[in-house]
Amino acid sequence: MVTTSAAKLNLPAKAKEYFPYSTVRPSQDEFINTVYEGLESRKHVLLEGSNGLGKTVAALSACLPVAKEHDLRLLYVAKTHRQHDRVIEELKAISKRMDVSGVSLRGRCNMCLNPLITRHTTDARAAMEICELLKSRERCSYHSNMEKNSDRYADVSVHISSRPYKASEILEICRAENFCPYEIAKFAMEDTDVIALSYMYVFHPRVRGAFLHHLNKPLNQVILVVDEAHNLPSTAVEIASDALSLFVIRQAQREAEKFNFPSIASFSKRFRALIENMLTHIAKESYVPPQILIEAIKKKAKIDEPELFFGHLHETGTAIRQALLRQGQHPRSYIHRIGEFLQKWLETKDDQSYTHVLSSYMTKRGTVSAKLEIVALDPAKITTPVFSAVYSTICISGTLEPLESYARITGLPETTIRKAVPSPFPREHILSLVCCGVTTAMQQRTQSMYRKMVNRIAEVACHTPANVGVFTASYKVLQKLMNAGLKNAVEKPVFAERRGMASRENDFLVSKFKSYANRGGAVLLGVQGGRSSEGADYPSDQMNSVVVVGVPYAEPTPRIEAQINYYEKRFPRHGRQYGYVLPALKKASQTAGRPIRTLKDRGAIVFLDYRFATDYCRQFLPSWIRRGMKTLPDGDNAIAQELIRFYGPLDTS
C-alpha cells in the first residue's frame, strides 16, 4: 500500500497542523480537502469513503482548525461506544501536536453509578426521567456529593475538560471521587473542543433541548460530524415512532388497582380486550385507521372525551412516579406510558408522515402478543431542523451512494457538497463475485435452491484460508440453510445467530468465532442488518471471505407499503426505490464490507443472488464493490477457481 508523506501533500496549512501522522493514506488528502473547503464556505458536506480510509482522523483534522478559529464546538455523532472511543483515541494522537480536548459522552444508563438506574432502566428516556426525579428529590448521593465538595468537583471537571477523555475513563475517575460521571462530563463539555456522542443527543428533540442547555452553545455555533451516516434515516424514524404493548396495558391495570384508581383500571381492562379482539382479525401486521381506534375507545372503553382522559392518565402516572420515588422505589408508571402514547396517537392521527399499525410478535416465553405502533415515515422531520440550524454538517460513511437520494431523504439542502472519495484499497486486495443460478426471491425459495446455496457456501469455506462470514437476507433464509444441511456440508465449525439473541450472548458467539482465525477458521452465520453484520469488525483473518445470501428486501407489510406510498408522494417515481430498494442494498453493502477493515486486509465478497449483477441493483452498490465485480456462471467450482487465484492454493496437510 502506497502512502504519501503528510509534509508533501497539498493540504490546507491549518489542517496539516492537526493531522497527527507522518504519512497520509490514498484519498485521505482528498477527503480532508473536501471537508475543509466545505467548512470554509459554510456548506454541508456529504462524503462517501470506504473502510480503511481513516475517515475519523481526516474529519477531525479538517474540522478542528475551523472550529478553533470561529469558536465553534465540534459534535461527532456515531452509533456505537466503540466509534465514540475511536474519536478520543485520534484526539489523543492530535493532542501530541496541538492543544485539543474532548470527551466521549454516553447515556445515563451507561454513565451512572446510582443502582436505582443501573439495575432498573434499560432505555435512555426512562433513565433521564428517573434521574431528573432523583435530583429534584435530592435522592442521589453522587449528585449531592458534588455540591458538598464543590471545590474538588470543579478541579476534577477542569482536569477532564483539559485533554481527551473516553467515557470509561471519566467513569473510573468519578467512581473514585463518588461524583456523578454524567454530570461531570456535562460540566466539562462546556470547555471541551470535541464531544463524541450518540445520535440521540442531537436528533431527539426532547434530549437535544436538555443537551444544548449544558453545552452552552446554540446549534449555529456547532460543527456536526455524522459518522456511519447511512444509519441516520432509520435512527430518525425510530426517534419519531412509538409503540405500546399489551404487556404495558396489562401492567397499567394492575397499577391502577394497586393505587386505587378504579376508572383507569376499568379503562385498561377494556382497552386490552379491544386490542386482543383486533388481534384475532390480523395476521402479522395490520393498518389501524387512527380515528377508528379513537371511536372504538369511546364506544368499547366507555371514554366520552378521549383527549381529556388521556391527559388524566398522563398526570396520574406522573403523580404515581413521584410517590414511588418518595418511598425509595423505582419510579416507573405504566399508566403514564399509556397516557403518553395515546396523546401522541391523537397528535399524529391526521399527519400523513405517520402510519398506525397493530402488529403481533413472539415473546421471549414463546407466546403471541401484540403492540400498537405509531410509525414515522419521514426522517427529514427529525433531521432537517438540525441540518438547518448548525454551522455545518459533515455526513460520512462507506455506503451513502446514490448521494442525491440520501440528501433528499434526510433533507440536506441543494447546496450540499456531495462526493464519493476513491477507495484506498488496491484492486488486488478485493475480490467481488456474483453467482448466477441462485437467489432468495420468494417464488424461487425451493429446497433444491437452498441445497445449491449450501454447496456454494461450502465451496467458499473450503477455499478460504481462515474465517468466513455468511449473512442471509432474513432469519427464515438462515434457518432454511441450516435445514438444508449447512453444518454437515461445511468442514469448519459453524456459529449461528438466533432471532432475539441477547447482546451479551451474541458478543460471546462472535468472540468464539474470531478465536478460530488462527486455528483453521470457522463460519459465522447471521443476518444482514444484524449486530454481527454491521456492529462488529473482523480485521485480518477474523474474516477473510463474506457470503451475502440474497437481497434483504423487507417483508411487504403495511408499514413498508405506507413508506413507499409516502415517498412516492414526496418524490414522484422514486417511492419504491427510496422506501424499499435502497434500505436493502445499504444492508447488503454494509455486510459486504465486513472483511475489509484495514489497508493490509485482503477480502473476498461473494454475492449469492444473481440480482446483484443486474444493472438496477448494481447501481446502488458502493463504487469500491462495483469496481472489478465478476459475474460467475451457474456451476460447481466457479467460486473455487476464483478463490484459488485470489488466495492461492491452501495447505490442507
| Domain CATH code at residue 342 | 1.10.275.40
Q: Is 23 helix (H, G, I), strand (E, B) or coil?
A: strand
Flag whether 218 is in a domain.
yes
Answer for the pair 639, 456: CB distance below 8 angstroms, yes or no: yes
Residue, of 88 and 50, whose pLDDT is higher: 88
Domain of 332, in residue numbers: 242-376
489 and 341, same structural domain? Answer: no
Which pLDDT score is estimated for 8? 61
579 and 503, same structural domain? Answer: yes
586 and 558, same structural domain? Answer: yes
Flag whether 124 is in a domain.
no
Q: pLDDT exceeding 70 applies to what percent of the chain? A: 95
Indicate the range of 337-341, 498-502, 625-629 predicted with least confidence.
Answer: 498-502
* Structural domains of the chain, count: 3
555 and 634, same structural domain? Answer: yes
Is residue 123 very low, low, confident or very high in pLDDT (cuts 50, 70, 90)? low
595 and 578, same structural domain? Answer: yes
Q: Give all strands of the β-sheet with 468-472 in edge-to-edge order.
A: 494-496, 523-527, 468-472, 545-549, 603-608, 430-435, 630-632
Name the residue with cell 390480523: 282
441 and 414, same structural domain? Answer: no
398 and 360, same structural domain? Answer: no
CATH number for the domain that contains residue 42: 3.40.50.300
Name the residue with cell 456505537: 80
Flag whether 148 is in a domain.
no
284 and 263, same structural domain? Answer: yes
Flag whether 145 is in a domain.
no
626 and 563, same structural domain? Answer: yes
* Tens of pLDDT, residues 488-527: 999 999 999 998 888 788 889 999 999 999 999 999 999 9
Q: What is the mean pLDDT of residues 221-249?
A: 96
Answer for the pair 328, 351: CB distance below 8 angstroms, yes or no: no
Is residue 1 very low, low, confident or very high in pLDDT (cuts 50, 70, 90)? very low
Q: What is the mean pLDDT of residues 569-585?
A: 96
Task: Round to whole Å and give the CA distance between 133 and 138.
Answer: 8
* Tens of pLDDT, residues 8-21: 667 888 999 999 99
Flag whether 212 is in a domain.
yes
188 and 224, same structural domain? Answer: yes
Flag whether 8 is in a domain.
yes
How many C-beta atoms surround the C-beta of residue 185 within 10 A? Answer: 26
Flag whether 122 is in a domain.
no
Q: pLDDT exceeding 90 applies to what percent of the chain? A: 66
312 and 195, same structural domain? Answer: no
Flag whether 59 is in a domain.
yes
Which pLDDT score is estimated for 343? 97
Is 488 buried (19+), middle (13-18) or exposed (0-12) by CB count in 10 A? exposed
298 and 168, same structural domain? Answer: no
Which neighbouring-strand residues pair with 164?
102
- Answer whether residue 211 shows pLDDT above 50: yes
